[in-house]
A and B are shown apart, each in its own frame.
Chain A
């Protein structure tokens, strides 16, 4: 019988440690498929973050390093400057990238470091037990916004793709979701494109993936998908925000 579906070779045999219904597993798979399809696994160096996905270093079958909280873009910068021929990607959650590591992501994007950033936005801190993230929605209840996020004192949720798109330097910025097959197909294309941009030396690429956290949202996996579609997508619209086909260095 013909095998039509299997674990991508760029993933190790180690089982994922994520909660049921969490999207990290799908996102890992899409990255691994992109690495396989582009045949870059053996040339890739990944940077795992602090947070739920800290164990990402175990799951990808390429060289990996764990960065300090929020500093993955800086660590990636150091690696890429020493090994410009390798493909370098960071994997970061919303606390990591949009809170403690805001400076690092803004400046790595602004230097147009030739790295690929996979930004997982689930609107909440997962590993530390469900506290408010910079991306937590208005009115959303979390451990540290127990009466709902109040924009008067807590600010409005940060839209990273829109924010980084105001910079001239980044080459590719897109937001995708995974709640239905059509979205997953688009997400795969977006991630592949982000890596292709790096392979082609076009500059900084980032894909934001809207993701669920059933455990900390207090919802079933199915309800979590519905909540994401109903609440997150209207505030975090999907699509490509920046797509400098010629590469940023050629358009100034």
Chain B
């Protein structure tokens, strides 16, 4: 049985990455994820053959990731909202070149410089591509420090499996909170070999070329379609949690830290004789649309709660497809939703 450790969310991601075999990290400090950059420095600078670089900018950092991944390294970068915006061009290149890597976004309030408080305003950016062109990231949304660990390890494996960048989408609250975590023993054999495609010594084989463009529209369309096929395959990786869904008066859809807050609201509601169910998407891309559609046929009302003006609610509406009434409740700008206000909103809707 692995030891239980009390760890801060950001540092837990770092330790999980090391457990997953990540040996290359390139990043730039930004609140509220700076502890992760510092943790990677502390660990990787002591590991033979590993590399940590505090890059000159987020832009440089993501392009170091691009190079390291092309050379076959298991590599990660992390940032928070405005820094992730700066990385978007590089992320689009990595998606086009079909290279694996893990990108951590510990979200803060936006737009612009915004605030340094927790928010979920980057949902669109994370799940719809974010950079230019037709592509998606694999997006995982933890809601506890233990899940930061488990999903970070999973993100590395999924990104290698599909040769597509994967993102851990957390928020400032998750990054900063401390909880007990366990690191299960990690089997290094599960890191896929990359010698069949990565750059390196070309002795005994044809020279390889990693080229994230094609000036022939028909050729580029072919490439984008091939990448698109990969997104079809990724659908089978859908993961979600359901909670208290037997005969609910209403179903709430929430992800990340908000889902934790909803669980508290559910306990409070029970005391008042109100039965609230929860669906929590763990993969935001692929989105658990089929599960949400399925449950929509069993209830009249669905409430989506987010720490944004309302972003995931669009995907929920598409999934529900008119089978239930979907409403939205959100706080934004870095304000954390409280269980009390969620319960009040539920009561208002059930009136």
Q: Which residues from chain A sit less than 8 Å from chain B, CB to CB? A: 12, 41-43, 45, 47, 54, 57-58, 60-68, 71, 74-83, 86, 103-104, 106-107, 111
Contact = CB atoms under 8 A, between A and B. Distances in A.
Contacts of A62: 202, 207
Nearest to A81: B51
Which size bracket describes the interface of B in this complex?
35 or more
B173 to A, nearest CB: 31
A68 to B, nearest CB: 5
Contact of A63 (B53, B68, B89, B208): B208
Interface string B52-78: 010111011101111111111101000
B135 to A, nearest CB: 15
Contacts of A80: 67
B68 A104 contact: no
B209 A64 contact: yes
Nearest to A77: B64
Contacts of B186: none
A74 B207 contact: no
Given A63-B208, A82-B71, A74 B200 contact: no
19 contacts: A41-B202, A42-B202, A54-B213, A60-B207, A67-B67, A74-B61, A74-B63, A75-B70, A77-B64, A78-B63, A78-B68, A78-B73, A79-B70, A81-B53, A81-B73, A82-B24, A82-B71, A83-B199, A104-B63
Contacts, number: 125
Contacts of A60: 207
Contact of A78 (B57, B70, B202, B207): B70
Nearest to B23: A82
Contacts of B56: 103-104, 106-107
Nearest to B66: A75
Given A71-B63, A86-B200, A103-B56, 15 more contacts: A12-B207, A41-B202, A42-B201, A42-B203, A57-B211, A63-B202, A65-B210, A66-B210, A66-B213, A74-B59, A74-B64, A80-B67, A81-B24, A81-B73, A86-B71
Contact of B201 (A43, A61, A81): A43
A77 B67 contact: yes
Contacts of B55: 74, 107
Interface string B208-233: 11111100000000000000000000
B212 A77 contact: no
Given A64-B207, A65-B210, A45 B75 contact: no
A41 B208 CA distance: 13
Contacts of A58: 209
Interface of B: 24, 26, 51, 53, 55-57, 59-61, 63-73, 75, 89-90, 93, 97, 199-203, 207-213
B309 to A, nearest CB: 31
Nearest to B50: A81
A70 to B, nearest CB: 9
A67 B66 contact: yes
B202 A65 contact: no
B24 A78 contact: yes
A128 B97 CA distance: 24
A32 to B, nearest CB: 12
Nearest to A111: B53
B199 A63 contact: yes
Contacts of A77: 26, 53, 60, 64, 67
Nearest to A110: B56
Contacts of A81: 24, 51, 53, 64, 68, 73
B202 A82 contact: no
Given A42-B201, A79-B70, A81-B68, A63 B75 contact: no
A63 B200 contact: yes
A1 to B, nearest CB: 31
Contacts of B72: 82-83
